[in-house]
Amino acid sequence: MTHVTRRRLFGAGLAAAGAALLGRDTPPRDSPNAPVTSPTPPPLLAPPPHPAPSPSPSPSLAPLSRPVFTLREYRQVVPGPDFPPDAVALTIDDGPHPAWTPQVLRLLERYGVPAMFCLIGNQILGHEGVARSIVAAGHQVANHTWSHPAGIATLPPDLVQQELDRAQEKIHDVTGHTPTIFRSPGGAVSPAVFAAAAKTGMIPVNWDTDPRDWTRPGTGAITDRLLKARPGDILLCHDGGGDRSQTCAALRTVIPALQARGLRFIALGAEA
């Protein structure tokens, strides 16, 4: 199987984005207690199209006041060519896991699907080889904090920054890649979360198709929810945080079914 082509996102081209945000009703979230942003923010402003290679560490960005939820919103913040009109993005949270991550990787390879794996820093400990296998297979890695604090939106700014910085350092040290995308636990956000993501050179990205697979509602329920995906959606699934056999079983049905409907999977941060 040919590995998926990857392209690093470049921080300097992102820095102009994020002064204002696109309106949307209450955002989806991974936890019923996750804090949410204002339901009526102003529109996102498209940045000038002048991306440039970012130094290491990534430069600070202008903080957003709301996460990205769709591919259209992502492209408003991150300069680049338009996504294909039939594109969807699959994101996988809470790994790496020694059992479930390899199963997901084999499934993605079987169907030629790229994905973005949102890695928890302390889950990489002892599973460094699994983390490296994600990158070796051509997938993108994102920062999902060091310890996945459910109450991240209530933490003081210094602790929020520490969560992002420690995960960023671990992911880079193990995989050789520096994430440019941040996924907050449960999608929870606060001014401190946005500021920390911007300082670390990352765009906060949530989702708009959530099967709530982390609750283990049954393979059928996960399948039905994911099959409702539409072009431009960002899909949320999990390969860590518990028994993910239902998720893996659902994806075996969902991926070929969505492909049969004409949807094309793309990886955020990679050339579409």
Query: Which residue of the set 93, 94, 233, 239 is catalytic?
Result: 93
Query: Which residue of the set 97, 139, 148, 238 is catalytic?
Result: 238
- Report cis status (omega within 30 of 0) of the bond before 43: no
* Cα 176 to Cα 34: distance, rounded to the nearest angstrom: 31
**Exposure letters 112-140 (e unless 16+ CB within 10 A, then b):** ebbbbbbbbbebbeebeebbbbbbebbbb
**Active-site residue 93, yes or no?**
yes
**Active-site residue 139, yes or no?**
no
Cα atoms found within 13 Å of the Cα of residue 186, Cβ hemisphere only: 19
Neighbours of 27 (CB within 10 A): 17
Catalytic residues: 93, 238
